[in-house]
Chains A and B, each alone.
Chain A
Amino acid sequence: MHRRLLLLATCFALATSAAPAAHAAHVVWSGLVIAENVARPTPIPSELTRIEQTLKELFGYNQFQVIGQSSKTLKTGEEDWLASSKYFGLHVDARGETEAGYLLNLKLYKEKELLLETDTKLSKRSPLVIKGPQVGSGQLLLVLVVQ
């Protein structure tokens, strides 16, 4: 009888411990990236490693440098933060969490000028890449990844 109770308690503990793990807090990495073609490209930043091939094939550049970034741990799904470089600012406003990810409002600023605004449903397994303006011989990219 005691052993049965012990087994039931074990099952219950496993079930209840697995449930919160599915809704654990996530870190959203957001970055301002300059893509360029150079003779000696530097290694791609670790945050972009998983999408390196896609970035190279889509945009045709061999170097990707982060000029501004932010890592935000989302606990309530209602946080907001800013990833900025000297001239650009990416304001991210989280507006709730869904089963698959987060609802985000993104605003790209050039200094104080709003260049682009978008609302997205960022999946935990699917990074978002936004092609920004041409900067010199390169291209500004905005990348958001749920880590």
Chain B
Amino acid sequence: MKTFEEKWTAWVDGKLTGKDLVEFEASLSDRASAEAERRDVQKLGALLKKELGAQTLSNADFFSHQIRERIQREIAAQDRHGERFTWWTIRRLTWAGATSLAIFVICAVFVIRDKSPSQQSQYLTQILNARVDPAVSPNATITMFEAKEDKVTVLWVEGLQSLPADYAAK
């Protein structure tokens, strides 16, 4: 069952026919006023159809252009947005990695240079020569060796004149 409004709309649009048309028109209390209103509505509809339809068609390219521009703006904004939050791009990661590696190599070179002398002779203390006064200690002998555990170099002098305990004074 159609409501009055539905029947009114169909009547205005000229889509009400047959028995429904007769019944609806009979139900109108002021037929003349209703007819006038229908004409006004039809005029308005025609006007709107004409104006809006013509504008849409004539500005199709303009709207298309506007839509494309808007899409491009949105894409550019998304790109900028994405760039701000992903600072670590592949290029920057590569640079950061190369820089870190360079810093590591520099530090390693200095550490290795400081801790590993090229020769054993540089690593341990060397005794170049040693002598005692033969007049004071005629039987003295000198021996040199290295205690590898603590990397201690020892100059072992035997035969020096023994001294009394008083000489241990500070």
How far, in whole Å, are A98 and B121 apart by their CA atoms in the complex? 12
Q: Which residues of A contact B137 (CB under 8 A)?
A: 115
Q: Are A121 and B125 in contact (CB under 8 A)?
A: yes
Instruction: Determine how close the nearest CB of chain B comes to the CB of A63; give it in whole angstroms.
Output: 11
How far, in whole Å, are A14 and B100 apart by their CA atoms in the complex? 12
How far, in whole Å, are A138 and B107 apart by their CA atoms in the complex? 48
Q: Does B48 reach chain A (CB closer than 8 Å)?
A: no
Instruction: Determine how close the nearest CB of chain A comes to the CB of B114; give it in whole angstroms.
Output: 5
Instruction: Count A-side interface residues using an 8 Å CB cutoff.
Output: 55
How far, in whole Å, are A134 and B158 apart by their CA atoms in the complex? 9
Contact string against A for B residues 82-111, beta-carbon threshold 8 Å, 1 for contact and 0 otherwise:
000000000000010001001100110010
Q: Does B36 reach chain A (CB closer than 8 Å)?
A: no
How far, in whole Å, are A21 and B113 apart by their CA atoms in the complex? 12
Interface 9-residue window, one of A39-47, A49-57, A74-82: A49-57
Q: Are A131 and B157 in contact (CB under 8 A)?
A: yes
Candidates B129, B152, B168; contact of A34 at CB < 8 Å: B168
Nearest A-chain residue to B157, judged by Cβ: A131
Q: Are A120 and B127 in contact (CB under 8 A)?
A: yes
How far, in whole Å, are A50 and B151 apart by their CA atoms in the complex? 10
Q: Which residues of A contact B126 (CB under 8 A)?
A: 120-121, 123
In the complex, which range does the number of interface residues on chain B fall in? Answer: 35 or more
Within 8 A of B (CB), among A106-133: 110, 113-123, 125-133
How far, in whole Å, are A125 and B148 apart by their CA atoms in the complex? 12
Instruction: Determine how close the nearest CB of chain A comes to the CB of B169; give it in whole angstroms.
Output: 4
Interface 9-residue window, one of B9-17, B22-30, B54-62, B159-167: B159-167
Q: Which residues of A contact B75 (CB under 8 A)?
A: none
Nearest B-chain residue to A123, judged by Cβ: B125
Nearest A-chain residue to B151, judged by Cβ: A126
Q: Are B122 and A133 in contact (CB under 8 A)?
A: no
Q: Which residues of A contact B154 (CB under 8 A)?
A: 58, 128-131
Q: Are A133 and B160 in contact (CB under 8 A)?
A: yes
Question: Which of A58, A114, A118 has the most CB atoms of chain B within a 10 A radius of its CB?
Answer: A118
Q: Which residues of B contact A34 (CB under 8 A)?
A: 168
Can you spell out 11 A-B residue pairs with CB atoms less than 8 angstroms apart? A22-B114, A36-B168, A87-B167, A115-B133, A118-B155, A126-B125, A126-B152, A128-B153, A129-B154, A133-B163, A134-B162
Interface, chain A (partner B; CB < 8 A): 4, 7, 10-11, 14-15, 18-19, 21-22, 34, 36, 50-51, 53-54, 57-58, 67-68, 85-88, 98-101, 110, 113-123, 125-138, 140
Known pairs A19-B110, A85-B170; list 14 more (Cβ under 8 Å).
A22-B113, A57-B147, A100-B117, A117-B130, A121-B128, A125-B123, A127-B152, A128-B153, A129-B152, A129-B155, A131-B157, A134-B160, A135-B165, A140-B163
Interface, chain B (partner A; CB < 8 A): 95, 99, 102-103, 106-107, 110, 113-114, 117, 122-133, 136-137, 146-147, 149-158, 160-170
